[in-house]
Amino acid sequence: MGLLSIIRKIKQKEKEMRILMVGLDNSGKTTIVLKINDEDTSVISPTLGFNIKTITYQKYTLNIWDVGGQKTIRSYWRNYFEQTDGLVWVVDSSDLRRLDDCRYELHNLLKEEVLNLEAMDNSRHWRIVGCSAYTGDGILEGFDWLVQDVASRIYMLD
């Protein structure tokens, strides 16, 4: 039995997913994580390094890695990719001044050799979901899609 098969069997038993939240600083990553768990979002500090939030979502346990987006931290994002099942790229579309920076950082992220995305061009699973970290609108729709997509790829049918 190969290592990938063993990992899949372990994950099937645990129904656990590792989700990585990345994006520029002040884009709403931490707010989204708190909103999805119905927590207070009135006072949020910048994430220096990372926060891990474990929540039950549908029938799965999500370990959400909320990684800081400050310019000085971005070069460390690659250290969080290993064993990640899904990635959420958060964009503050109301911050028009930083959309070019956002595009640049996303392109750099997609070029990371550890993701090996160039080999997956035709099979990459992605979706853009409009949402509001402030109101919570659209967040559950996005996570519903993400969780179902990840589950369809890493868990065998019951």
Q: Which residues are catalytic?
A: 70
Distance CA 105, CA 96 (A): 15
For residues 35 and 134, what is the distance between their CA atoms, to the nearest angstrom? 8
Which residues make Cβ contacts (< 8 Å) with residue 53, sequence separation at least 6? Answer: 33, 37, 63, 64, 66
The residue type of 41 is T
